[in-house]
Amino acid sequence: MVRAITLRPPWAQAVVRWGKFTENRGTGFPSTYRGPVLIHVGSTWSKRGGLDPRMLKVARQALVPSACSWPPGPLAPKDLPERQAVLGVAEIVDAHPATEACCAPGGGCWPWGEIEYQAADGKLQGNVTHVVLEEVRATRHPVPTPGRLGLWTPAASLVTAVSDALMPECRSCDDGACGWCFGGWPGLPLGCGCHTWDETLLGEACPRCSGPLALVRISTPARLDPPFEIVACGSCSFEREP
């Protein structure tokens, strides 16, 4: 049976579009379920998520094609307006107690896994469960429905509506949905076989925050499009032409 999980924005968008494969949950979250789960975005914006440096980095990377218009500073609610809707589906393949080892660089849940986090009520949440997600697929459009707390069971009609709305696989490489393969779909990963992504550190400091600057290059071998390049900071939203 399919389950569903409600995440506050922008965390839900990060799971569906930006490769956040570990969801951090507090005490009481059921850890035995394995199988398909609908990714539902709630109504209340997470200020912590909008300021999170990991979030800012993946948002910037995913939106590189429109980098010149991407405003500096944290993500804001207006940047990701979807609310109270299913944005995609995934597979829960594991759920385990957070440990220092899996949260550390090189660990299985790094960089998204947390040993503790600040909950919505401002309290520090310990005893964290890492919910590990794979096989994420976005919908072509949000599928509206109210959310619930915890791991909940969606109505059969909702499951059907989400299935009908799922983004098709890449038409060119059969390697998952890709934002550029589908006409610039905002925020979908660029890392399919049609559009490959790499970055090279330049050894220069960002003029805004002194973070490392890198030359970001997106190649499109399947379409033979010219590569897209931009210099971007790994710590803030600063970008410039090479």
pLDDT (tens place) for every residue of the chain, 242 residues total = 899 999 999 999 999 888 899 999 988 889 899 999 999 999 999 999 999 988 888 777 665 444 434 456 788 898 888 999 999 999 999 999 999 999 999 899 999 999 999 887 788 989 999 999 998 888 878 999 999 999 999 999 999 999 988 865 555 555 555 554 544 444 444 445 555 666 788 888 888 888 888 887 766 554 445 566 778 776 665 778 78
Instruction: Give me the pLDDT at residue 62, please.
Output: 64
Q: Between β-strands 85-97 and 35-41, what pairing exists: parallel, antiparallel or unpaired?
A: antiparallel
- Residue listed under structure tokens 């330049």: 202
CA distance 67 to 80: 16
Domain boundaries, the chain: 3-171
CA distance 52 to 79: 15
Q: Between β-strands 196-205 and 212-220, what pairing exists: parallel, antiparallel or unpaired?
A: antiparallel
Q: Token digits for 124?
A: 């520090």
At 4, give phi and psi (nearest 5°): -140, 155
CA distance 235 to 211: 5
Phi-psi category of 49—alpha, beta or left, where left has phi over 0 and alpha has psi -120 to 50? alpha
Q: Is 76 helix (H, G, I), strand (E, B) or coil?
A: coil
- For 3-171, CATH gives 2.30.130.30
Q: Token digits for 109?
A: 């849940």
